[in-house]
Structure 1
Amino acid sequence: MSVFTRLLVALALVSAACSASADDLVARGHYLTVAGDCDSCHTARNGAAFAGGHVVPTPFGAITAPNLTPDHETGLGGWTAEDFYRAMHAGKGHDGTSLYPAFPFTSYTKVTRADTDAIFAYLKTLPPVKLAHTEPALRWPYSMRSLMGSWRLLYFDEGEYAPDPKQSAAWNRGAYLVQGLGHCNECHAPRNTFGAMVTEPFLAGGLVPVQNWYAPDLSMGPNGGLSGWTEADVVALLKTGRSRKGTAFGPMADVVIRSTQHLDDADLAAMATYLKSLPERGVPRQRESAADAADLAKAGQKVYAEQCAGCHAADGRGKGTAYPPLDGNSSVVEPTGINAIRIVLSGGFAPGTVANPRPYSMPPFSQTLSDDDAAAVVTYIRQAWSNKAPSVSPNDVRAYRSIPGG
């Protein structure tokens, strides 16, 4: 073989290796966009994937998610990997403007440069779509982007995730996914008046802004929202949308459909390992039950026997994997009662997943139950068996009757 021929072979091998490496980077980037659930915000209903246009409601007004396709005029076509990392890590746009925290850069700052480069490499392979960005429709004074400087000083801690050498590789992987790319705290935490997350204690549960669902506390220890759950229960819920302890409804069902069901088992197990380590919670301060709570619960027991026990069993333990238990169910005993009210009124629709393609769903009872009856049965299931949550009132039911379920 001549020197020239050997050189051609060497160049071909290098080219093939580079191509394989590039393919691996793009594939990893695709996986990471799924782990980050990027599609849910950056794809409008019936729109092109990642082309933006989806309106994200906030308590301060509406923000339209931008175009992430590589269109040069309206998307990421003119961006560099450095620009993309700065957006993820520092919450700064292509032109240096401060991004609003509806884009969860407060969590994404923990994502490594290697992972943001992979995500960017994947996004650059998408078909470019021309879809101009719409400016946020925020109320004054929130429309003054200059105020973000003060907000960032108060509420934003920039920095990639730093592994804890005292913990296992699985724990660190789970912490990285939960704290960073999975941005779980964006829903599972209360927020202050300015929309900033209250992070102590971490993942302690909170009302999802505007959507009016309560995302439960994720501690699996005593008094935690997932008390009594095992790591296998967590993995099952994230993979299939259901577990022996409960079923994903509302916004979490969408997360399972778009994101967590597609993650590999090792990552799901790592997330469960991390959640298992969250500290136990103190005894929660519950709002007082209504004065007539005992009468409500008594009336609710009758409604439950007639309408609910056939599926969820008289003892509240559910039936197999089809009908979830209500005893100890985090959606039943969460502090506000919102989730149980909404599911009773509008039904509960579990996500269809690869592992559970035809889930059982709960029919709506808004046309069957009066406000008094709905309040009674919700109060009953929140106080029956081992449950010790406060009552809800007919006024609480009226407040959520007009809101669609999910």
Structure 2
Amino acid sequence: MSRQRWAVAGGLGTLLLVALLALVVWQLNRLDEAPPPAVPVADLATQRERGAYLARAGNCAGCHTVAGGVPYAGGRGIETPFGTVFAPNLTPHATTGLGDWSSEDFWRALHNGRGRDGRLLTPAFPYPNFSRVTRADADALFAYLQGLAPVDQPRRPHELRFPYDSQAALAVWRALYFRPAVHAEDPRQDAEWNRGVYLVEGLGHCSACHAPRNALGASGEQLGGGLMPMRDWYAPALDAAHEAGVAGWPRAQVVELLRTGRTELASASGPMAEVVRGSTQHLSDADLGAMALYLQRLPQQPVPVAAASSKAPPVNVRGERLYAKHCADCHGEAGEGVPGAYPALAGNRALLLDPPANPVRIVLGGGFAPATAGNPRPYGMPPFAAVLADDEVADLLSYTRNAWGNSAPPVTPLEVHRLRDRALR
């Protein structure tokens, strides 16, 4: 490269660096919009009751409670590709919780992703979704949290790698991917649909799991499915009939799945079982119906066309033998299942997912629907990690994914090996 070209390239690089620094400074120092005025409340007890309901709708305790700890006292570690984020204490303790916060501080955290001191919050806290939450609902949530017993549990510092632990990196991320949102009713849709989008895309933050993410952890609001980082569960697409779309379901079945964790058409397991147990089972019929309506009206992905093959798949003799030994008693000789107890495997969308992370994890670690008020004693599936080797799990799943009319890519021993440790945590 000539000296002149080197000079031009160097000048462009300097301009880009200056622009990047200016962007960081702007993000760190820009003034957030003023919060909307608080809605007058006549009865604090009623507001707090409403806040408790909203906290369930947002499944706040799911992240802000360590296993065996006091609800909302924080401390739970959330693994990300950039390190571990620790959820803070939401109880009203004066020094380690939200005791010194105001309702404006709390709204700013939800809406703008900034802490009380102005620092940028990591998007592991899903403020891109919570930004939609109305001021009235934010105030009700805050009133509920302020009514909890204060717990002295200091915030544990995040363990993020450089440069992801810096405010500068967060500023760049926000400049690229975050704009504060405002919930606005769509006049082209009815009130039930508008309530559904508020719950699904806002407070319920479904896209935090069910949307694909890029290399920097950013996702859109589309619900097209994706592998959950560091958890190795696949959150299936909610807009695709071949994954977890419900456009063709009876509405009552969608509501039943969200309320109890199981129907004759599907059951919840893994992270979704946690959501049903901690959140959706507690919602009103009206809100569950609104969520179902919104999910059913999502524009649908086209069903993929399977590649034609003139050769029949090889007979998986060992997989068939393993199925007869370990699975047929519950799931049936022809994968027909037992209604109300064990799911059918013939035509089972969860079994046919690609990537096959979920069926591999269920075979290794067991499959357990959530215990809910509507299904207090769910049937479960025992783990087979201590019984089956990686190649046996691969053969078993490859057989079931291509028996009884099923058609899906085979599972490899390497895929099973990669997921084994994660499935047993």
The correspondence of residues 2-401 of structure 1 with structure 2, limited to 5 A, is 21-199=43-221, 202-219=222-239, 222-226=241-245, 229-284=249-304, 294-295=313-314, 297-401=316-420
Q: 1:234 to 1:298 in 2, by over 3 A?
A: farther
Decide whether the 8 Å contact of 1:225 with 1:334 is kept in 2. Answer: no
Larger mean Cα displacement after TM superposition, 343-352 or 116-125? 343-352
Percent of pairs with identical residues: 49
Structure 1 residue 305 displacement after superposition: 2.7
Distance 1:296 1:351 in 2: 36
Cα separation, 2, equivalents of 1:76 and 1:179: 26
CA deviations 1:124-183 (Å, max 9, x no partner) are: 101111221122110011111221111112111311222211112111111110000000
TM-score (norm 2): 0.85
Amino acid in the other structure paired with 1:213: W
Question: How far apart are the structure 2 equivalents of 1:52 and 1:285?
Answer: 46
Rounded to whole Å, the distance in 1 between the matches of 2:422 and 2:155 is 29
AA of the residue aligned to 2:291: M
Opposite residue 344 of structure 2, the aligned amino acid is P
Cα distance change on mapping 1:397 and 1:95 into 2, 3 Å: same
Residues 27-48 of structure 1 show CA distances to partners (whole Å, capped at 9, x for unaligned) of 0000000000000111112222
Distance of aligned partners of 1:88 and 1:130 in 2 relative to their CA distance in 1, 3 Å threshold: same
Distance in structure 1 (CA, Å) of the matches to 2:372 and 2:191: 28
SS at match of 1:403: helix
Deviating runs (4+, > 6 A) in structure 1? 285-289
Counterpart residue number, 1:6: none
Shift of 1:68: 0.7
1:163–1:325 distance in 2 versus 1, CA, 3 Å? farther
Distance (Å, rounded) in 1 between the aligned partners of 2:101 and 2:83: 27
- 1:307 CA drift (Å): 2.1
| Distance in 2 (alpha carbons) for counterparts of 1:295 and 1:87 | 56
More off after superposition, 172-181 vs 158-167: 158-167
Determine the C-alpha separation between the residues in 1 that align with 2:389 and 2:243: 32
8 Å CA contact 1:51–1:67 kept in 2: the answer is yes
SS in 2 for 1:242: coil
Are residues 240 and 30 of structure 1, via their aligned partners in 2, closer, same or farther at CA, if it must alter by over 3 Å? same
**Aligned-partner residue type, residue 352 of structure 2:** V
CA distance in 1, matches of 2:391, 2:314: 11
Structure 2: gaps spanning 5 or more residues: 1-39
Mark the CA change 1:131 to 1:312 in structure 2 (over 3 Å): closer, same or farther. Answer: same
Report the Cα distance in structure 2 between the residues aligned to 1:59 and 1:293, rounded to whole angstroms.
40
Relative to the length of structure 1, the TM-score reads 0.89
Instruction: Report how far residue 285 of structure 1 moved.
Output: 8.4
1:270–1:315 CA distance, 2 compared to 1 (3 A): farther
Deviation at residue 401 of structure 1 after TM alignment: 2.1
What is the alpha-carbon distance in structure 2 between the residues aligned to residue 119 and residue 273 of structure 1?
Answer: 25
How much is the aligned-residue C-alpha RMSD, in angstroms?
2.3
Give 3-state SS (helix, strand or coil) of 1:62's partner.
strand
The answer (yes or no) to whether the contact 2:243–2:349 under 8 Å persists in 1 is no
2:109 partner SS: helix
The answer to whether the 8 A contact 1:36-1:259 is kept is yes
Contact 2:41 2:47 in 1 (8 A): no
- Residue 300 of structure 1 and its aligned partner are, at CA, apart by 2.0
Task: Work out the CA distance in 2 between the residues paired with 1:229 and 1:260.
Answer: 18
**Aligned pair in 2 of structure 1 residues 94, 323: CA closer, same or farther (>3 Å)?**
same
Mapped contact 1:64–1:136 kept (Cα < 8 A) = yes
Amino acid at match of 2:88: P
* Residues 320 and 380 of structure 1, relative CA distance in 2, 3 Å threshold: same
Aligned length: 384
Q: Tell me the SS of whatever aligns to 2:368.
A: coil
